[in-house]
Every structure is written in structure tokens, then in C-alpha cells.
Structure 1
Amino acid sequence: MKLDLNGRRLQVDADPGMPLLWLLRDVLNLTGTKYGCGVAACGACTVRVDGQAVRSCITPVSSVVGKRLQTIEALGTPGKPHALQLAWIAEQVPQCGYCQSGMLMAAAALLGKTPQPTDADIDAAMTNICRCGTYQRIRLAIRRAAGMAPNGVARKAKK
């Protein structure tokens, strides 16, 4: 099967019914995407498929052939982090950190679709579970990455 993963074209030899999560972690050694529950409830395995947040633990590899896949490994780099990664650090979002790659990918999908999300947009899109309970920090970080003040109002661009 041919995949477009993190901007690269790959030929992979895998069972078409294999969950995408296991292809990423076990075959391609991209371990940033985490296994959490295995039933698409927690979101630790979230990746983007054609820009949409997708739970990779229940997504068969065959369903993503011909689509653009992005994992946390391609969200930003140490030299050029994504705005969400910078906001996550600034708002001190992570505690244990296990859910963070899935949270970041879900937030990236949200901002890709809704660049200036309301609290309702954030709440609807961020269905991932954080056992540490950093939901308020996550909301602040998404607002920060979107260039919004903590109250949800768009900040004026600096000249």
C-alpha cells in the first residue's frame, strides 16, 4: 500500500485491516502516537487524516490509502515548533504528558478548520481525555495559538 505520511510517500507492506496505530508504532517506529484505550474513547492515538482528527486505534490502514496522514512527529520541529507546541509550553499544559500528542493533533485539526474558535468550538472538537485534568490550560493554549486573548477575543496584530 502507498501512504502519504508526514509529507513523504511510503510503500508499506501491512495487513489492510491492521489499525493505523499499530502500523505507525510497530511497523514505522513512529511512537509519538500513543495507545490509550483501543476503542477510540480517549484520543491518545489521534492523528490527522486529510486535516481531520482521527482515532488511529480503530482506523484500518486500508482506509487511509491515498489520504494525507500527519502524526505528532511532523507537527513541528525543535528548531521551528508549531504555534500549538509553543502555546502548550507557555500555558504549562502537560502534566504526565501521555495524552499530549493526541491533544495537539486534535487541536491542530480544530485550528485548521476554525482558525478563531469559540469556547463552544473548542469544547466540541477537544473530546480527548486528559486524566490530569488540564482542560482549562488546553483551552488557553488553543486560544493563544489562535492569536486570541484568554477571554476568547482576537488579539490585534502587532505592527
Structure 2
Amino acid sequence: MRINTKCSVAVHCLLFLHEYGETQRVTSGILALSTGCNPVVIRNLISALKKAGIVEVAGGKGGTRLCRSPEEITLYQIYKAVDPGCLDDLVGIHPLPSALCPIGRNIRTVLAVPYGKLQADVRKSLESSTLADIVAEYQNAQGQKGQ
């Protein structure tokens, strides 16, 4: 069980946009260099973030920028934008339990409540963290390196 890397790459891109988007044109090529990902992967993530209303992309030569303040963007919104089925797939149940076994027949029902609670807890946690929190952590880390 883990959150896939799409979310961390998207957060990386959004942090980059926050830090440099006002002073330079940020393209998928630049983001690809920064993240170590293929530009096509970056364009797909940016497209998903655009559909979610988190970024906007300029026409022509391009360039992406945040269209909301970091305080208004939660990690859940980012995660949901780049991986819409995110919480549904967070915890899996083995696909072929035996219908001949009483446990096998009931395992999905038995796990529905605790797994549902886990999903709700993860969502609540992701909703309580914003891009502004990430920006502050980044800036704190940068300050510590400079000392």
C-alpha cells in the first residue's frame, strides 16, 4: 500500500511553479529536467492539474503557472487530480477468495469498515495539508542548507 509517484511529481512541479513561475516561463521541458521525468509524463500531469483548476497553461510557446494561491491547494486536490481513483485503490483486497470458504465469502464485508475508515483518515490528512505547507517546508530546508 502506497501513494503512487504521480502525486509527488505533481507536488514537485507545483512547488517549482510557485518558486519560479512568476519570473520565468516554465515549460514541460524545464519541469522534466527538474523532476527527472519524461516531458510527456509532465504534460499529462499538467493537463490533469489544469482540468482540476490548479494551474493554467499559456498558449503559443507555452508556460504554466499556478492559478490559485498555495493556501487554497490541498494535497488531496493534487492527488485526486493526477490519480482520480486514488483512495479506491489505496488498500486492495485479494481478488479471488474462495466462495467455498466462509471467510472467503465474507472477507470483503469484514474489511469494508476498517478499510473505509483508513480511506477517510488518509483523505482527511491530505485535505489538511496544503501546497503552502510544502512551500514552507521547502523554504525551511533551503534555509538550513544555507547555514
Question: Does the alignment reach a TM-score above 0.5?
Answer: no
* TM-score of the two chains, using structure 2 as the length reference: 0.27
Higher RCO (CA 8 Å, separation ≥ 6 residues): 2
Higher helix share: 2
Higher strand share: 1
